[in-house]
Amino acid sequence: MSKISLAVEVAGLRLRSPLMNAAGVLGMSPPILKRVYDSGAGAVVTKSIGPAPRTGHPNPTLVRVSCGALNAMGLPNPGAEYFVDEIKALKEMGVPVVASFFGGSVEEFAEVASTLSKAGADALELNASCPNVQEELGMLASDAGNVEKVTATVREETRLPLFVKLSPNVTDIKEIAMAAERGGADAITAVNTLKGMAIDINFKRPILTNTTGGLSGPAVKPVALRCVWEVAEAVDIPVIGCGGVTTWEDAIEYLLAGASALEIGTAVMTHGFEVYGQVNEGIRRYLEMNGFSGIKEVVGLAHQIGEEQDSRADRCSIRV
């Protein structure tokens, strides 16, 4: 029996596996990203790159919490110009590269997108959602109008597949996803971290230098999964799931919820680089055991039955 293929196509990008690393996780240098790829990822995602070099926030920038981590790295990055060579190096090694990027203004977003496109990235991921940095655009990801505007402007700079990565820290993620779609996004990545914090009870102060940080890992999985579910119902473009994926069962939940591909970040902390291979293998077994011939058949499957479920949910009134 020949092995079932895990290949997927997301927004025109053909990948041997639906797995990628999450932006900012291990995305600083080509050799590490190559290792992610060699561990089984279908593509790698770079650290979010901005217009100029940033050291990020001073330490502490990471705190372990129950079933997850809080981080406030502060978007350290060497700047788009510097990163051109890193992308080229990755391409030379044969690694499909999704370049994550951000800016402090609409113009900066466009400028960085253009630089990274020219460098040879295979796709771009617009980070509309970092909760740790607020520049001119404020908390970009919570303003549908701004998301549409930034997406549309970037859209004009590049013909690459454009993912827009959203924040879960919003009242209605569907609205923002639709704005990104209108702006010309080819896919939605859902989601970035939840805004949280931790306090040291002896020093009596927040631990993170930035006071608040982004919660990731298994703790956020139910929330991120719900975001994927909602976004998948709201838009016609593919959704890339992200948030707490740790086991192959998690991955299947995301696919069933409507994700066409997945990014895995914090699980590397607990499961190492091996997580990519393990999740691939689990997905493959699941496809086989359930008689599917490819990942595409699984994507969004839980929505069909979801509607029948909804009607039962309304039975809240007295029935005894």
Ligand X SMILES: Cc1cc2nc3c(=O)[nH]c(=O)nc-3n(C[C@H](O)[C@H](O)[C@H](O)COP(=O)(O)O)c2cc1C
**Interface residue list for other proteins (CB under 8 A):** 24-29, 31-32, 34-35, 47, 53-56, 58-64, 66-67, 69, 71, 73, 76-79, 82, 198, 200, 202-203, 205, 207, 218, 265-266, 268-270, 272, 305, 308-309, 312, 318-320
Q: Which is nearer to other proteins, 14 or 64 (CB)?
A: 64
Pick what 29 binds: other proteins, ligand X, a copy of itself, none; C-beta below 5 to 8 Å, kind-dependent. other proteins
Q: Report angle CA 275, 237, 46 to the nearest 5 degrees.
A: 40
Report the distance separating Cα 165 and Cα 58, nearest Å: 25
Residue 53 has phi, psi (to 5 degrees) of -60, 140
Looking at residue 60, its amino acid is P
Residue 109 makes CB contacts below 8 A (sequence gap 6+) with 101, 102, 103, 126, 150, 153, 154
Q: Which is nearer to a copy of itself, 229 or 276 (CB)?
A: 229
* DSSP single-letter state for residue 301: H
Q: Which of 166, 123, 125 is nearest to 15 (CA)?
A: 123
Q: How far is the CB of 16 from a copy of itself (least distance, A)?
A: 23
Which three-class secondary structure state does DSSP give residue 104? coil
Judge whether 227 counts as a catalytic residue.
no
Report the distance separating Cα 276 and Cα 263, nearest Å: 10
Pick what 234 binds: ligand X, a copy of itself, other proteins, none; C-beta below 5 to 8 Å, kind-dependent. none
Task: Say whether residue 74 binds a copy of itself (CB under 8 A).
Answer: yes
**Tokens for 19?**
């797995």
Task: Say whether residue 71 binds a copy of itself (CB under 8 A).
Answer: no
Pick what 6 binds: ligand X, other proteins, a copy of itself, none; C-beta below 5 to 8 Å, kind-dependent. none
Asked if residues 262 and 241 have their Cβ atoms less than 8 Å apart, the reply is yes
Which three-class secondary structure state does DSSP give residue 226? helix
**Binding residues for a copy of itself, per CB under 8 A?**
52-58, 65-68, 70, 72, 74-76, 133, 139, 142, 169-172, 194-199, 201, 203-206, 209-212, 215, 218-223, 225-226, 229, 244, 249, 252-253, 256-257, 286, 301-302, 305-306, 309-310, 312-313, 315-320
